[in-house]
Structure 1
């Protein structure tokens, strides 16, 4: 049996040739207009603020964020297809605060102890548009968060009374304007059958080398849609595509090549991948017989890819504003504002609106961050001098506002 066709269903466009097409397309059906999701979130948030507002310890802030991922992934090992699956899931994150902007339940306890861990198990949300089903999950999760928040606030207030006054006297939460932006949902446009054959082809050369014990090639096409509402009036819906190709192999040590793009056309062609696979094989086989290198201390020259990771870890995270406030972090640059960190010919900026640079797609682009704040271009180092920090809604001395760089994955706290 052989059929060929295209089908688009609110978030997906999948092209398949062959018998299994129906299975993939059936999974895509049912994603009608997602505005009912935003409406259900707003209705339940308003109800929760009204009901909980009558409590003796009312919330002063509440936000809901639902993150949806839908798409398809395929994988192969040593030339044979191992999986070809659609995926569709939604998760809820709730930020509920009691107290006030100056002191609330999220404050870190002195000595590094935290009642709020940096991650938790996100709450699954129904993937349909039934407002009652969505509101039921919102209600239950809000109730649990409220009970926890009250306990946290009591612990924070006790900690403040018995601890030495902190050096940073900024508020726990910033005051911000409301934003509204409802983007059109994007869809996945991919020929699944063609990518099944590609990953088989990409992983096949490893089978010619018996000393390579693991080898896989995988491809995923995903659209992430986020709905966000808060008690300040913000309503956001954003939608982003990411297409990813990953080739992995291992013998004594593992190696991999990872490619990401905002469209299938942004991924490398077959010739480029074949060349990279050959390079992985040569490097893996060379590593098997390479002598151990003695520990070395001294100057080093890093490759372009390695230098990017090094720069990100050494500098990037340390420029996040919240790290200048938390005692559990190093606070590396807390007292170095307006001081020289780099040579004069170096300037560093972060621009979340950039979608490509030098002909390469940039993963992680966004218009609004995970706290509903519009992302801004921020020059953190100007001609070698530290001038700014990447700010979420956790103020620090001298930086009372967010600049739209509060980011997280579903199930994690915003940083």
Structure 2
């Protein structure tokens, strides 16, 4: 349950989406001795539960639930641009989330709009000093109890004056206690000098592209152990460690449109990232494509057939479907509840099935960012079959019940400092109607010809998107492609175009899928929503849709740089003398 993450560069979803950490698998039976930190957490939790509040209901009530979640992380970040370092920092942090619930599971201080009232977040001492840890936890617990008590009084008052809610489910589910203490994450080891040289060299490649006015090569590595203890008896510690390299570049077309490309690489440690030759080839290809995009024509708004590559399809499913299957979106006065009343009904073509399986650390040998052993409520990760043969079967559940489901299925996730909600982990789309890439392309051309369209679109790469799920706004989505081609029906060469975004409404878009190709691709990312930014993955095959709607992206009004870039060759020669 990785909770502490370095700043993300690439986003996709709800609200937003970048590659992240890999937790260890749950141990079968073997557990390790408690650490000093875990011992301090348990001791202070026991003391707080016995001391807080009064048994007299006319006075301050006792909490019925208390938990401590701690992210203990060592991390390194370094970045470079145009061949020079801009940052190189290493840090160690410990952050605790203290959750206090007052009332009863059926109705407590987190009800409705007061959900965040249970949470208090503080930094903890880095040393395993029991006295220092206990005093810090005591202060946070006391403050959290005060907040929870104030909120519970408001909740009870509101219940007397408001109309009956649509979903009268409880505020907290009953779950069995878990105990699993896995080995702490290994120490963070990075050959710092070697990697500083490597990212400088990669960023220096952009010197040969004068139209690219910004570039950044960023290395992030972390080794983290997450601890969770609760008054119910749950006691879990899980390690996770990750290394990721992100290459970003930007340019601006003559008409003012800003364009960018991103390449990301991820492994469990820096030693397992691609070699420098591979990174160089990928970076140069990205830069050349960005320059080509600068000179590509702007495509007009379009409504017709298209193919989404596997990566693009993965983002599409994450945005259009995944967020709307998160449990908390099925209750509440503000949620649009797109699929709430479609349980056990078809919402996709019959040849498609969708699962979310955070227990998978890799897919076909490639790492998955959305892997974790335990979620951020101490529940074991579980595979959840969301849609089978097109039929909706369940939702992604945290410990916040909804009308149809009263228990968690291991998907309560959050960034440090946020309350967990039902979130995606590894969303995996499978198809029983698959064809080769060549056949899928032929089907696109045939469909475009059938609709009297001069071309179909092929979306090769996508950067980000967002989904609107509240009922006060249209239930719509938008996905931002980076690389788009026109596939002409008359056989002309494919044409690179720019300035397009995919828009639409979920139910219409999902039912226009005609077929998929025969292999799946991965998109790793950081997804942002109400419970913060968390690592996720989506796996899907390329898909052909009979109709997709696009609109033009914002044009921009700023000119490309007026002053030409300096002559870097002359500058380097002068420096050498």
TM-score of the superposition, structure 1-length normalised?
0.87
Q: Would you say the 8 A contact 1:390–1:405 is kept in 2?
A: yes
Q: CA deviation at 1:321?
A: 0.9
Which deviations, in whole Å up to 9, do the C-alpha atoms of 1:202-226 show, x marking residues without a partner? 1111012222111111212211211
Residue aligning to 1:349: 355
Q: CA deviation at 1:241?
A: 0.8
What are the residue-to-residue correspondences of 1:258-337 with 2, within 5 Å? Answer: 258-337=264-343
Residue aligning to 2:61: 57
Which deviations, in whole Å up to 9, do the C-alpha atoms of 1:84-114 show, x marking residues without a partner? 2211111111111111010011111xxxxx3
* Bigger fraction of residues in strand: 2
Tell whether 2:96 aligns with 1:92.
yes
- Mapped partners of 1:123, 1:172: distance in 2: 25
- Mapped partners of 1:394, 1:266: distance in 2: 38
Q: CA deviation at 1:319?
A: 1.0
Which deviations, in whole Å up to 9, do the C-alpha atoms of 1:250-273 show, x marking residues without a partner? 112222111222233542222222
- Mapped partners of 2:115, 2:105: distance in 1: 17
What are the residue-to-residue correspondences of 1:54-133 with 2, within 5 Å? Answer: 54=54, 56-108=60-112, 114-117=113-116, 122-133=121-132
- Mapped partners of 1:297, 1:138: distance in 2: 57
* Bigger fraction of residues in helix: 1
- Mapped partners of 2:311, 2:399: distance in 1: 31
Q: Secondary structure at the match of 1:199?
A: helix
What are the residue-to-residue correspondences of 1:83-232 with 2, within 5 Å? Answer: 83-108=87-112, 114-117=113-116, 122-187=121-186, 188-232=188-232
- Mapped partners of 1:131, 1:287: distance in 2: 58
Q: Secondary structure at the match of 1:330?
A: coil
Q: Would you say the 8 A contact 1:118–1:413 is kept in 2?
A: no
- Comparing 235-244 with 45-54, greater Cα deviation is found at 45-54
Q: Would you say the 8 A contact 2:97–2:120 is kept in 1?
A: no
Q: Would you say the 8 A contact 1:73–1:85 is kept in 2?
A: yes
- Mapped partners of 2:365, 2:345: distance in 1: 34
- Mapped partners of 2:379, 2:53: distance in 1: 25
Q: CA deviation at 1:119?
A: 11
Tell me the C-alpha RMSD between the 2 structures. Answer: 1.9
Tell whether 2:365 aligns with 1:359.
yes
- Comparing 33-42 with 276-285, greater Cα deviation is found at 33-42
What are the residue-to-residue correspondences of 1:365-380 with 2, within 5 Å? Answer: 365-380=371-386
Q: Secondary structure at the match of 1:213?
A: strand
Which deviations, in whole Å up to 9, do the C-alpha atoms of 1:381-408 show, x marking residues without a partner? 1111111111110011121111111011
- Comparing 66-75 with 172-181, greater Cα deviation is found at 66-75
Q: CA deviation at 1:146?
A: 1.0
Q: Secondary structure at the match of 2:418?
A: coil
Q: Secondary structure at the match of 1:305?
A: helix
Q: How many aligned residue pairs are there?
A: 378
Q: Would you say the 8 A contact 1:75–1:218 is kept in 2?
A: yes
Q: Would you say the 8 A contact 2:379–2:410 is kept in 1?
A: yes
